[in-house]
Structure 1
Amino acid sequence: MKTSKKFVSAVEMIALSFLLIIFLSPFLITILNTFKTTQEFVENPFSWPTRFSFDNYVKAIDKMNFFAGFLNSCFITVVGVVIVILFASMTAYLFARLPWKINKILFFIMTASMAIPFQVVMIPLVTIYGTIGFLDSRGALLFMYLGFGIPLATFTFNGFIKGIPVALEEAASIDGSTRVRTFFQIILPLLKPVLSTVVVLDVLWIWNDYLLPSLVLMSPDLRTLPLSTFNFFSSYSVDFTPLMAGLLLTMLPVLLLYLLLQKYIIKGISIGAVK
């Protein structure tokens, strides 16, 4: 029996290792190609570099205007995540605590809206806001992120808030606390596990988003890092290896954040779903 269990464990470990290699291979190949010239990449993208050089990273930083794009991405991501969390948590608290009949209808509509693909609404969205002159600004982009980000965040927060005892709020009310003060001093700190999940998911979404910023931000000085990678494309060619270096630099900050907070993602979703 022990020998059989050891054999099964060994097979599982080999299978998992094989799957890990498969999943990591595109990322590893991309890293490998950042040290090549474009000619070497075109000849054989799977070959080993003739020499390891960081010239592509220097070219990427210069051509992307990396630091300006980094600051734009940081501003839009941080502000976008903060306003989504603030509005979504308050909305979820309203749905969970106030027994209005319309709340059930609004919550259902908000949840159902997550099933609508962005591609369905992007043309009317850009047409309407372009007509009223609301495009080409960070404020317009943040406003749209707020609209598209609230449903999932509200759904996640709502399940968790329902599991918080109402007695805590009643005790605070007896002590003279207002509903707003109770939310920010009692409820919001208790949302820490699910809050980490929403933060990671929204940071990954907003930081890596290309389609929506490409429709809203027209000025070069407003471009985020994903938009800046378009500078490597010309009419007749693509500078592949600096492009890969730029993509790697773009994903590195959010990848580090994900590695630091990954344990909270599944934990927070599971807690919110159960409660």
Structure 2
Amino acid sequence: MRKKRNYKLEILGIFLALIWLAPFYLMLVNSFKSKREIFTNTISLPETWNLDNYIEAFQELDFLRTLFNSLLITVSSVVLIIIFSAMAAYALSRVKSKISTVLFFTFVAAMLIPFQSVMIPLVTVFGRFEMLNQGGLIFMYIGFGASLSIFLYHGALNNIPKSLDEAATIDGANRFQVFWFIIFPILKPITVTVAILNIIWIWNDYLLPSLVINTPGSETIPLKMFFFFGEYTKQWHLAMAGLTLAIVPVIIFYFFAQRSIIKGVSDGAVK
């Protein structure tokens, strides 16, 4: 017998989707309106689709330089998080001992520590070593992103049989070759998940860059947007255009990687 469609759930899903999409709709349509039209006609489509807002916001944000800064920090941090977390998780999953167990649960417990509790000591220590710059920011992101990434990799590695390691070792591969040429390619789904989670977090992070970066021209997009809003508080047409420019890169990346994220999350679940 054919299963009856549950129209109530479908309607509820559509309703929730519309609620979720409403802020994006308002941001997008208002980014093409004039300042006057935003306050007189907020919800409807613009009378004329004007790109002047984007041109002015692009210039005021110094968007190309700011985009490069965000890309540099995000890509460098995520690549290093993936490399170090994958290697650490592999060692913790393959070497079973009391020390490895303690280390793993230490990483898991670190996820529960709120950033605000270590914020001031962190900035003080890094300031003494003159690392309040982009390099220091990348180093901090590696530390804060490693815990969750190791947890996800560890769960996926527990589902990969050790017989693969043993077979590769018999064929003459060393531990480094076993990991990078045999194990790491199998971890592609969870690697995509780790990349997406960290990219969205690092790309949108404002608090840590605001504490670390104090050199003009080195700002990330969220930090630059903060100053942009401070300067153009009442010019919402420019603010909406700037916000749209800021979220486009991460949305593009997400749509390219969305096929792998569901499988990656399931692979990273601890059984």
Give the TM-score, by structure 2 length.
0.93
Distance in 1, matches of 2:29 and 2:51, equals 11
Instruction: Report the 3-state secondary structure (helix = DSSP H, G, I; strand = E; otherwise coil) of the residue aligned with 1:5.
Output: coil
Deviates more, 1:238-247 or 1:206-215: 238-247
Distance 1:254 1:236 in 2: 24
State the partner residue of 1:175. 171
Q: Pairwise mapping of residues 91-110 of structure 1 onto structure 2 (< 5 A)?
A: 91-110=88-107
Alignment of 1:118-267 (within 5 A): 118-135=115-132, 137-234=133-230, 237-267=233-263
In the alignment, the residues of structure 2 paired with residue 220 and residue 45 of structure 1 have an alpha-carbon distance, to the nearest angstrom, of: 35
Residue 67 (structure 1) aligns with? 64
Instruction: List 4+ stretches of structure 1 deviating above 6 A.
Output: none
Paired with 2:45 and 2:161, the residues of 1 have a C-alpha distance of 59
Moved more, 10-19 or 243-252: 10-19
Q: Name the aligned partner's letter for residue 233 of structure 1.
A: F
Tell me the distance in 1 between the aligned counterparts of 2:83 and 2:169.
22
Q: Secondary structure at the match of 1:41?
A: helix
> Which amino acid in structure 2 is aligned with residue 39 of structure 1?
R
Instruction: Give 3-state SS (helix, strand or coil) of 1:221's partner.
Output: coil
Between 1:59-68 and 1:224-233, the stretch displaced more is 224-233
- Give, in angstroms, the shift of residue 231 of structure 1: 3.5
Separation of aligned partners in 1, 2:213 and 2:128: 15
Higher mean displacement: 249-258 or 41-50: 41-50
TM-score (norm 1): 0.92
Residue type of the partner of 2:37?
E
**1:10 alignment partner in structure 2:** 7
Provide Cα deviations, 1:5-44, integer angstroms capped at 9, x if missing partner: 24xx222222211111111101101111101223333455
CA contact (8 A) 1:32 1:48 kept: yes
SS in 2 for 1:115: coil
Q: Structure 1 residues 120, 41: closer, same or farther in 2, change over 3 A?
A: farther
Aligned equivalents of 1:237, 1:272: Cα separation in 2:
43
Kept in 2, the 8 Å contact 1:81–1:199? The answer is: yes
Q: Structure 2 vs 1, CA of residues 67 and 16 (structure 1 numbering), >3 Å: closer, same or farther?
A: same
CA distance change for structure 1 residues 29 and 237 in 2, over 3 Å: closer, same or farther?
closer
Residue 115 (str. 1) matches residue 85 (str. 2): no
How far has the Cα of 1:235 moved from its partner? Answer: 6.4
- Segments of 5+ residues of structure 2 without an aligned counterpart are none
> In structure 1, what is the Cα distance between the partners aligned to 2:247 and 2:41?
24
Among 18, 21, 26, the residue aligned to 2:18: 21
The percentage of aligned residue pairs carrying the same residue is 45
Alignment RMSD: 1.9
Alpha-carbon distance in structure 1 between the residues aligned to 2:32 and 2:232? 23
Which residue identity lines up with residue 27 of structure 2 in the other structure?
T
Q: Distance in 2 between matches of 1:272 and 1:245?
A: 37
Structure 1 unpaired stretches of 5+: none
1:52-63 to structure 2, matched below 5 A, reads: 52-63=49-60
Separation in structure 2 between the aligned mates of residue 176 and residue 236 of structure 1, nearest angstrom: 64
